Amino acid sequence: MRLFLSLALAPLAASFVVHKGNTCTLFPESLKNGGDAVDDVPSVYEAFKQCGHNGKVIFAKDHVFNINSVMNTTNLENCEVSLRGELRWSTDIPYWLNNSYPVVLQDQHTAWLFGGENVTFRGEEGGWYNGNGQAWYTQNENQSNQPGRPISMTIIDSKNVLIDGLSIIQPQFWATFVVQSKNVSITNFYVNATSNDQWGTVNTDGYDSWNSEDLLIENAVIQNQDDCIAVKGNTTNLLVRNVTCHGNYGMAIGSVGQYPTMPDYVEDVTFEDIRCYDCMEAALIKTWQGVAENDSSNGDAGGGGSGYVKNITFRDFEVVNTALPIQISQCIYTESGKDCNTSKMAISDITYSNIKGTSRYNIASSIYCSDVHPCPGIKFENVEIDSVNSTMGLPLAGTTLQDEVFQCTNIIDEENSGIPCNHAAPSNYGQSVDTNVKDDSVSSES
């Protein structure tokens, strides 16, 4: 009954926004519409119009807000947002495929553009983002990068943004994307994409960044089926700290080098205090090959882009049952390994320090640098990875290689790198590994 009280006390309510002082409190339309899932987006726009500059917007506690249309809540200034209810995204897939906003990179789209200057967004008092992703996972049927499938939340053209306590459950696609922004922090962050049918959640990255600098992700738990964190082109000065990843592709730089007309520069990135449980990869750098190609498992064409990835630190990792803990690939989407040695992306000064735990198969690392750009400054310090089986005294199946494999190709000053290289890295070693390395002539089937 508190609701009717709020209404009665709110003669200035427009749509379903209660405006008092500099604070706008939102209530859902469903309350006035017999519980029907009426779109709350017009009210959200009204709240940000009234309180998006030097104000506060509160999504009222314990209420469900139906988000049935795209939202563009950008250009906020000195605004605090409190999500205390549930944002429930509609599952009208044809609508979203038609209407999601393009975000340029990889022809991706988003359901929500958010941002501005001096903005905080807090998930608190049980507030959360319900992407209703199961509908997306089921209709997507495991395809990669379905055109128009929307990113849950994109922080764009922003400066000094703090997102704290955000939980995104069942994201539609990538959970968050930071674009063209500076000084954006995401702390106390939770993402969980879990499918309940035979289809995977595919492309549910926890976080992606592009054309942005001075970024932080701290204290996060991410379960999904793609990169835990993905650092895309033109990301500078990113710190990722205290993140636990479940069943995903871990900490990834890339993919980069996709577009010949847009070079990718990535530098000064540190990942520290990271745990990967049952992941495919833990520390991954992935670039496209040096020539454009049109047959890719990525659902996308590309290659031939130039640029660099430099000064990256992977520090204090615990990896548990991870298929391929450490990888650098320079032709991640040419399954045949064709043109792998042509990549124009220069990789340098990559440190792997204090990386400990178990690999699912007999391989700890595969580092393949292209012939065009052999990699200087690759360092292993205290990297101790052993296969799950050998830690249990069990033999490895289907291989003569019972010792842990460390593959290396085109590493400059390899002998001083600290890497116990014992095999060449083949050009066609995939991102998804599902078997032991058999011997030097045969690499992963996948």
Which sequence positions are flagged as catalytic?
Answer: 226
- Applying CB under 6 A, which part among 13-21, 188-196, 401-409, 437-445 lies near ligand NAG? 188-196
Using the rule CB under 6 A, which residue among 6, 15, 69, 78 binds ligand NAG? 78
How many chain residues touch ligand NAG (CB under 6 A)?
Answer: 53
Using the rule CB under 6 A, which residue among 198, 400, 416, 441 binds ligand NAG? 198
Q: Which residues of 47-78 are buried (b: 16+ CB within 10 A; e: fewer)?
A: bbebbbeebbbbbbeebbbbbbbbbbbbbbeb
Give whole-number Cα distances, 187 to 239, 248, 395, in Å.
11, 20, 42
What is the spatial distance between Cα 178 and Cα 200, in angstroms, rounded to a whole number? 24
What is the spatial distance between Cα 20 and Cα 368, in angstroms, rounded to a whole number? 60
Q: Indicate the residue among 27 and 121 with the shorter CB distance to ligand NAG.
A: 121
Q: Footprint of ligand NAG on residues 167-186 (CB under 6 A)?
A: 183, 185
Using the rule CB under 6 A, which residue among 260, 263, 374, 418 binds ligand NAG? 263
Is residue 301 involved in binding ligand NAG (CB under 6 A)?
Answer: yes
Task: Pick the closest to residue 419 from 372, 369, 364, 356 (CA basis).
Answer: 364
Is residue 402 involved in binding ligand NAG (CB under 6 A)?
Answer: no
Is residue 91 involved in binding ligand NAG (CB under 6 A)?
Answer: no
Is residue 77 involved in binding ligand NAG (CB under 6 A)?
Answer: yes
Is residue 200 involved in binding ligand NAG (CB under 6 A)?
Answer: yes
What torsion do the CA atoms of 156, 93, 52, 168 make, to the nearest 10 degrees?
-70
What is the spatial distance between Cα 160 and Cα 433, in angstroms, rounded to a whole number? 39
Tell me phi and psi for residue 374, to 5 degrees. Answer: -55, 150
Q: Indicate the residue among 342 and 407 with the shorter CB distance to ligand NAG.
A: 342
Using the rule CB under 6 A, which residue among 55, 165, 233, 257 binds ligand NAG? 233
Is residue 403 involved in binding ligand NAG (CB under 6 A)?
Answer: no
Is residue 74 involved in binding ligand NAG (CB under 6 A)?
Answer: yes
Using the rule CB under 6 A, which residue among 7, 45, 132, 199 binds ligand NAG? 199
Degrees to nearest 5, angle at CA 16 with 11 and 19? 55
Give whole-number Cα distances, 386 to 85, 291, 323, 325, 368, in Å.
45, 36, 11, 10, 20
- Applying CB under 6 A, which part among 39-47, 91-99, 314-322, 376-384 lies near ligand NAG? 91-99
Is residue 389 involved in binding ligand NAG (CB under 6 A)?
Answer: yes
Is residue 203 involved in binding ligand NAG (CB under 6 A)?
Answer: no
What is the spatial distance between Cα 410 and Cα 368, in angstroms, rounded to a whole number? 7
Using the rule CB under 6 A, which residue among 26, 155, 396, 437 binds ligand NAG? 396
The alpha carbon of residue 28 and the mean position of all alpha carbons in its chain are separated, in whole angstroms, by 30
Using the rule CB under 6 A, which residue among 264, 282, 385, 408 binds ligand NAG? 264
CA atoms within 13 A on the CB side of 130: 18
What is the spatial distance between Cα 428 and Cα 297, in angstroms, rounded to a whole number? 14
Q: Indicate the residue among 6 and 311 with the shorter CB distance to ligand NAG.
A: 311
Question: Which pair of tokens denotes residue 115?
Answer: 């941002």
Using the rule CB under 6 A, which residue among 3, 9, 12, 397 binds ligand NAG? 397
Question: Which pair of tokens denotes residue 50?
Answer: 């009234």
Is residue 162 involved in binding ligand NAG (CB under 6 A)?
Answer: yes
State the minimum distance, in angstroms, from the CB of residue 337 to ligand NAG: 9
Q: Give me the DSSP letters along 53-94.
A: EEEEEEE-TTPEEEE-S-EEEEEEEEEEEEE-SEEEE---HH
Pairing of strands 17-20, 23-26: antiparallel
Using the rule CB under 6 A, which residue among 25, 130, 341, 410 binds ligand NAG? 341
Q: Length of the chain, please?
A: 446
Name the residues that contact ligand NAG, by CB under 6 A.
Answer: 72, 74-75, 77-78, 94-95, 98, 101, 113, 117-118, 142, 160, 162, 183, 185, 188, 192, 194, 198-200, 211, 219-221, 223, 233-234, 242, 246, 262-265, 268-270, 294, 301, 311, 313, 341-342, 361, 371-372, 389, 394, 396-397, 436
